[in-house]
Structure 1
Amino acid sequence: METTNTIADITKEIFLETLLSKALDGHLPIAIWKKPKQPFIEVIIDEDKDGIQQPAIDLDNLPPGFMIHPFLLSAEHQPFFIKASNHYRYNLKGEQSPDFDFSVSKKTGEDLTEKIRNTIRRFPSGKKHKVSAKSDFIQTVEKAIRAIQSGTLNKVVPARLKKVRLSDTFDLAGTFLSLCEAYPNAFINCFFSESTGFWIGASPETLIQTKGDQFYTMALAGTQKAKGDNPLKNVAWTQKEIEEQALVSRYIVDCFKKIRLREYLELGPKTTIAGGLLHLKSEFVVDMKATNFPQLGTVMLQLLHPTSAVCGMPKTAALSFIQANETFDRSYFSGFIGPVNMEGETALYVNLRCAKLENTEALLFAGAGITEDSIPSKEWEETEMKCNIIAKIIKTKNPS
């Protein structure tokens, strides 16, 4: 027998599974996310199956919704925008909004989990991609170092692809909630449309954020594993990692210079922790009203993407290297995603620490920033750490 419940007394698992089921039943686009350090899970469902395909990157003129943009535009991969036809919110602290009536038909969790899992399995595998072998990736890194030494590049970020098999008991809602618990400082996200497929991730990197008159972006680079009881206190950065992060910061400053923006606040660099990994981070803040630049979010988005943190410098040469040497299509990995014009705020994140769910597999992506001082074997280890951010949650919930 089915009973009707309100959001105040349903579990977060049923909340997510019911909305996922609603979207998948109607073949409707859905986006689920939790912002860094926030207690709310937010969900939007677009009643229009087609969403907005190939939306113009003009943030001020987009309706409330969720942007999905690929690393590079191609015939196969185009930007996609999920409109917020329906917007739901769940407070993980248990203090639900009293005026928010969320009536659901409560089925057993097992029924909904199986239904969602079967839908994922019916979604066909896309273009076949070659998994990155360790020897091949190391050769690519060595080639990148030679290009940097010759003066062709200052930095480049080759990526690799890893695949893990989803178990017969894979739980999408449970995996999302596990990511929320494990990585409170990351942008936890899951989205689906017929155009993009299923994706899930925990991104540590804000691309741009606008709220009121404030613009924000960050430079995030350098990676090492968090160790000990107080990893932020005991961390030591190498010259290679410091220079890698400085290149990303200079890239942002160069973008400001292109638009003659001189009034900005730079904070850092400082060490930050995200998903069990340590990074160096600098933050940049601009008062858009004081600088008379209300369109700064759109302008900087177009200048920044793809950033040197996921591509390299100079941008054109780095892109050429990536396209010539990577054996797979990045698709939406290292593109950008996030809510747009939701309650007066836009927050777009680089799509990192992510997996695409295809049929019975999770496709994991990770890149490494290569400079002249890079050690190829350590760059491979860095990509393993990054892939495991998602892989270990899937494997913990669903051992293969």
Structure 2
Amino acid sequence: MDNLQSLKRQVEQCLLTHQPNPQETISMYQFHVDFYGHLLSWLKAQSTYPQFYFNLRDSAEKLCAIGKVRSFSEVFSANQFVQQSGFTLIGGLTFDGASCFYLPRLLFQQQQNRLTLSVFIDNQVAFSEEKAAIAPLLDNLARYMAFDDIHSNRLQLIDQAHNQAAWCNMVQSALQALQHTELNKVVLANASDFQCIPALNAKDFLRESELVNTHCYHFLFAQDAERCFVGSSPECLYQRQDNHLITEALAGTAFVHHDTQQNQQQADWLLHDSKNQYENWLVVEGICQNLKHYAQNIDVSPLSIKQLRQVQHLYRQIFVELAPHIGDDRCLQAIHPTAAISGLPQQIAIDFIQKTEKFDRTWYAGTLGFISPQRAEFCVTIRSAIIEHNKIRVFAGAGIVEGSDPLLEWQEIERKAMGLISLLQSTTTQ
């Protein structure tokens, strides 16, 4: 970690020579070093909040940030700030669309073994105050902590928003609504609360998930030291490079088996099952309808399979050429929440969810990522959990369409939740 010591000295020297520019509301300094450590290990040693970590699914890029200089509770103002300043904002939207974007104090961006640190200084605040705010971050800048083994941790189920009987009743209510209302699909979810002995460190938990839940986004967002939202999501909300946007429909599920032949049979069944094909196409249709007003061209890829550790899904990519001057604010509002996590028609599905589910989703089935002028990328925050002291709340959901079987849907959400629960070797029930 000698290079982190080098970074610390460079930042300290920068602060000694910094002269606030009255024409710049915020100053940014960037530093580049080779780095062979793990940013989660660095984040584990930090005591400044908020904390953010984002490991991209389709590249070797990672973002990690601590502290906050500016925050935005509206996605429009966040996008406007990005376009005017040229800086990168991190954050996202909760399931119900509440916006939380911010400019961090320190932002690390890692590509392979090359690390870039951006330090932001608010020139609208007295520089003495800014130095005092940055000082504790510098004290810890070269620190890191080794990961602890979590396999000896034990989980005990203490509560569920819906037990199996309640879940089946909820799905039956959804099936009736599908027959008698305009509802075509609704995605219902469950929350399971576990006690963890000993208490679980979120960074250790997420590192273990990175090792086994491959081909996923891995994310961590903690606004304070009390609660931490973590997850390993297979689903991209969208990637944007200039005016080229890629999004996807990930809906329709089958189990993954250790037996290769059984696994292939499940994949073949999934590709040809009319119920799952219909569920996936509803997601495609919803995204295309919502984006058509902002797009010059939209193309949809053929149906394929995306295989994960516990389950496999039907998968289509959607390629969009955005019209001129369409910003990430409009893209986020048009795409989120997709029919893969809410249903169709969108507002009717959301109303049904809020009336039926017995818990607040908050960041579950929301979206997290980053916005910059040239590019943006967001994941859908499924396969996720909230870690709070010695308790962990694990979320899982399933799309309900005509033909859904309540008991099979229960088995599906239990299997999805196992993607995180199984990271701890010894799990007991209530």
Cα deviations across residues 50-105 of structure 1 (Å, max 9, x unaligned)? x51413345353341212311115xxxx42223243122456x6x445999x9955
Q: 1:374 aligns with which of 370, 387, 404?
A: 404
Cα deviations across residues 21-64 of structure 1 (Å, max 9, x unaligned)? 32xx23x211112111323432112344xx51413345353341
Q: How far is 1:381 from its partner? A: 0.7
Contact preservation (8 Å) 1:186, 1:203: yes
1:109 aligns to what? 146
Matched position secondary structure for 2:260: coil
For 1:319, give the aligned amino acid. Answer: I
Q: How far is 1:212 from its partner? A: 2.5
Matched position secondary structure for 2:238: strand
Distance 1:293 1:314 in 2: 28
2:89 aligns to what? 65
1:125 aligns to what? none
1:263 aligns to what? 297
Q: How far is 1:324 from its partner? A: 1.4
For 2:99, give the aligned amino acid. Answer: P
Q: How far is 1:304 from its partner? A: 2.1
Is 1:386–2:420 an aligned residue pair? no
Contact preservation (8 Å) 2:3, 2:35: no
Whichever structure has more strand as a proportion of its residues is 2
1:86-97 alignment runs, 5 A limit: 86-90=106-110, 95-96=113-114
Q: How far is 1:177 from its partner? A: 1.9
Contact preservation (8 Å) 1:129, 1:327: no
1:112-261 alignment runs, 5 A limit: 131-168=161-198, 170-194=200-224, 197-227=227-257, 228-229=259-260, 231=263, 235=267, 236-237=269-270, 238-257=273-292, 259=293, 261=295
1:56 aligns to what? 75
Q: How far is 1:283 from its partner? A: 1.0
Q: Structure 2: 5+ residue runs without aligned partners?
A: 7-32, 119-137, 150-157
Q: How far is 1:286 from its partner? A: 2.0
Matched position secondary structure for 1:310: coil
Distance 2:266 2:106 in 1: 46
2:42 aligns to what? 18
Q: For the aligned residues, what is the CA RMSD?
A: 3.2
Flag the structure with more relative contact order, 1 or 2, with Cα contacts below 8 A and sequence separation at least 6.
1
Per the alignment, do residues 178 and 232 of structure 1 end up closer, same or farther by CA in structure 2, a change over 3 Å counting? farther
**TM-score, normalized by length of structure 2?**
0.75
Matched position secondary structure for 2:253: strand
2:28 aligns to what? none
Distance 1:247 1:98 in 2: 41
Cα deviations across residues 83-133 of structure 1 (Å, max 9, x unaligned)? 243122456x6x445999x995557638xx69xxxxxxxxxxxxx996321
1:120 aligns to what? none
Q: What is the percent sequence identity of the aligned residues? A: 20
Matched position secondary structure for 2:362: coil
Matched position secondary structure for 1:158: strand
**TM-score, normalized by length of structure 1?**
0.80
Contact preservation (8 Å) 2:200, 2:387: no
2:331 aligns to what? 300
Contact preservation (8 Å) 1:130, 1:327: no
Q: How far is 1:3 from its partner? A: 12
Contact preservation (8 Å) 1:129, 1:328: no
Distance 1:286 1:243 in 2: 22
Q: How far is 1:297 from its partner? A: 3.7
Distance 2:54 2:36 in 1: 19
Distance 1:178 1:185 in 2: 14
Contact preservation (8 Å) 2:108, 2:115: no
Matched position secondary structure for 2:402: coil
Matched position secondary structure for 2:107: strand
Distance 1:173 1:44 in 2: 14
Contact preservation (8 Å) 1:68, 1:338: yes
Structure 1, 313-322 or 221-230: larger mean CA deviation = 221-230
Q: How far is 1:165 from its partner? A: 2.0
Matched position secondary structure for 1:157: strand
For 2:43, give the aligned amino acid. Answer: L
Q: Which entry has the higher C-alpha Rg, 1 or 2?
A: 2
Q: 1:33 aligns with which of 45, 54, 59?
A: 54
Q: How far is 1:325 from its partner? A: 0.9
Distance 2:116 2:161 in 1: 49
Structure 1, 60-69 or 353-362: larger mean CA deviation = 60-69
Q: How far is 1:298 from its partner? A: 2.9
Q: 1:82 aligns with which of 84, 102, 113?
A: 102
Per the alignment, do residues 195 and 99 of structure 1 end up closer, same or farther by CA in structure 2, a change over 3 Å counting? closer
Q: How far is 1:168 from its partner? A: 1.1
Distance 1:176 1:276 in 2: 17
Is 1:45–2:66 an aligned residue pair? yes
For 1:214, give the aligned amino acid. Answer: H
Distance 1:243 1:354 in 2: 26
Q: How far is 1:183 from its partner? A: 2.3
